[in-house]
Structure 1
Amino acid sequence: MTAQFTEAQKTAANHLIKLSLEEDLQQTGDLTCQALIEKTDQAEIQIVARQTGVLAGTPLTSLIFSNLDPEVVCTDHLSDGNPLEPGSIITTCTGPLASILIGERTVLNFLTHLSGVASLTSKYVKAVEGTKAVILDTRKTLPGWRILEKYAVAAGGGTNHRMGLYDGILIKDNHLAAWATRNSHPSIAAAIKQARESVNGEKGIEVEVDTLDQLADALEAEPEIVLLDNMPPEILKQAIQMRNEQSPNTLLEASGGINLETVRSVAETGVERISVGALTHSSIALDLGFDWKRRK
């Protein structure tokens, strides 16, 4: 699938790009290029895939060079979400040789990481094909990278969970434990009702449970989503039956310890959602390279 690069994602990218270039150049610049490369030297390179995967981060190449040297012109041949094979040509860049060399590592850092996220997401999505489950990301992201990493998840065919604490309510175990200390007759259903009132019903409520007893309690308040934490498939099936009987409009989300070997069995239980922190915290960079086409 293709992914749309928004203004919010562009803003986040430009912030990280400026930090990345500052890390590399400081006030001195590239000492190696200053020593060996003439300012008049021109070149043309291609960004090429070295392995099979899914592309993400293509718009960042032009953004990086626009921050570094607007004379470098980049032409994209593939779009984010496109499949990659060894030898797939992603982008061609032409312009001052020194600027291309200076930007090389920054470009590859962004593209290899984001394409790694998209590629891993694609594997999870393919693993659950034919079931009703969608694959979601989490907040387990690198600081500053969340918007871009979630963009890469979408490029890989995944679905974005809430972006942060500010745009959705997810009542987790520690919230419930803290809330219970101030209430003489605490219940998960009561906590859900209080959370719903706090946002005037304008946002859906998701709550985390780790036992069927807790699920039964939560379903009394008919939350929009219940996150079933670390439940094996046989318990998930019981949870689905309970949901169908008590609150059929509530969506069930499985999470915790799910990997590529187990995700299919989880999806086949009938849950609608599966959230996987590994999409962002454990993806491996996809191997991409700068290939010289010519030096002018």
Structure 2
Amino acid sequence: MKPGQHLEYYTRLYPAAWQQVDELRAARGLSWPEWCFMPLAAAYAIVEAEAGGQGIDITGCAGYALQNDAGIIGALAAWRETRGVYRFDPGVYRAVLSTPIPGELPSDSLFNLPEWGVYLETPGLRCDGRALAGFFACLVYDSAAGCSELWLVLDYDIPLPSLYTVSISLEYRSLAEALAKAAGAAARQADLLNLEAPTPAVGSRPEGFSPLVALLLYLCAVNADIDSAGSVPDRLQAGPPGQPRQPRLWTVGSKLDAALRGTAAGRCGPGQQQRGPRWQGYWTGRDTGAQKYVVKWLPPG
């Protein structure tokens, strides 16, 4: 699978990276939140060490590619623990992509990823005019700023290397606001570097990063249909440090697809009007003090 090829490629570029990650995790203590596999500073330190050995200043314009590498190393470090690759049923895939993210949905909705890091396949999705094979995603903690971020590492359907890192701050009240700010920041950064900003789109209709986040939201949903031979993904299922593992394919929406086909066939009662797919969210644990935002994806019907 292509994500495994990316891991091999960056292992050659940063041969000491995974040993450094394992040592960092072993000595982590309570220095960053439990939902984060590895903080932002650690990913930068790994890349800076390699760059320094080659006499490259990562903070300058010449080091932009290495700044991009920091995001890639962080996402790959989280993904290599369980190596989950998520493949959507085509009907469910189209339905989720067409579901608008409501303006009131909080950023906390994304804190329920099934694994530390995930890779999602994105057939038919394009980004700045190029086909997008998929993307890595993970949650990251910036200890210097005391804030949380979502990292998306876009995987273009071109020969390696083909990865581009996008950082989305989750410190905004709503996920919609976070997405709008991220799209603006990507455009400014691209303008500064005389590049074309990444703008994922379904067909030819620009949607910012909403399509990618919508797919991630589905993985976070408490009613998500995710399966692989009767098991479910779990970030605690990682193998021992340093043990080679193969990517594991998770099918998404295979059970739900039959229900969607029934809805598409017009199986509504007399006088009923079919509703489109939508997100539904609510807080849990307020009585216990352990608050958690839970999201559901509701199919059309």
TM-score (norm. length: structure 2): 0.24
Give 1 or 2 for the bigger CA radius of gyration: 1
Asked which structure has the greater RCO (Cα within 8 Å, sep 6+), the reply is: 1
TM-score (norm. length: structure 1): 0.24
Q: Determine which structure has the larger helix proportion and give its number.
A: 1
